Amino acid sequence: MTIKCKGFLLNRMIVLMMIGIGLLAVVLFFIFPMIKGYLYFFSMVLMFTSLIYIFYLNRFELLVIGIEDDELHLSFVNNSLFKRKDIKVKKEQVKVQRKDEKLIFLIDGQQQAIVRKKALDVSDWEKLLKVFEN
């Protein structure tokens, strides 16, 4: 069984960052019209560092979950910065914790992946819960 996830958190965070920094830049341009050159530079640096931080926060988000018999294959959304290699492990090595509307995949006690309910279709979410019921 293969389950494809959407980059829900990544999309939401990028849109919010662009709106927030865009509004901040416009306000600063109106407040300090005499130093526009510095404000252009400041807003670009702020946008760039925010984007890097967003990619860092999304390093655990899943793109594809493959489940075959006793093997689990995890592929990640973030393939540009903070790249994660795909993970293939036996299903019994993976512990899954459910917190609110997300599943956290732990391997050897360390968090390796997160899948959010909003990133999946309802039927896929139910299938995933059935597979990892303990």
pLDDT digits (tens, 9 = 90+) for 24-51: 989 988 888 888 888 888 889 999 999 8
Beta bridge partners of 131: none
| pLDDT tier for residue 104 given thresholds of 50, 70 and 90 | very high
Q: What is the overall mean pLDDT for the chain?
A: 88
Average pLDDT, stretch 110-131? 90
Above 80 in pLDDT, residue 115?
A: yes
Show the CA angle centred on residue 8, arms to residues 134 and 76, nearest 5°: 65
CA distance 108 to 82: 21
What percent of the chain has a predicted confidence (pLDDT) above 70? 99
Above 90 in pLDDT, residue 7?
A: no
CA distance 25 to 119: 31
Instruction: Fill in the DSSP letter of residue 82.
Output: S
Of the listed ranges 18-22, 51-55, 83-87, 104-108, the least confidently predicted one is 83-87
Please, are residues 71 and 58 in contact by the beta-carbon 8 Å criterion? no
Q: What is the pTM of this model?
A: 0.79
- Residue 113 CB burial class (10 angstroms; 0-12, 13-18, ≥19): buried
pLDDT of amino acid 134: 59
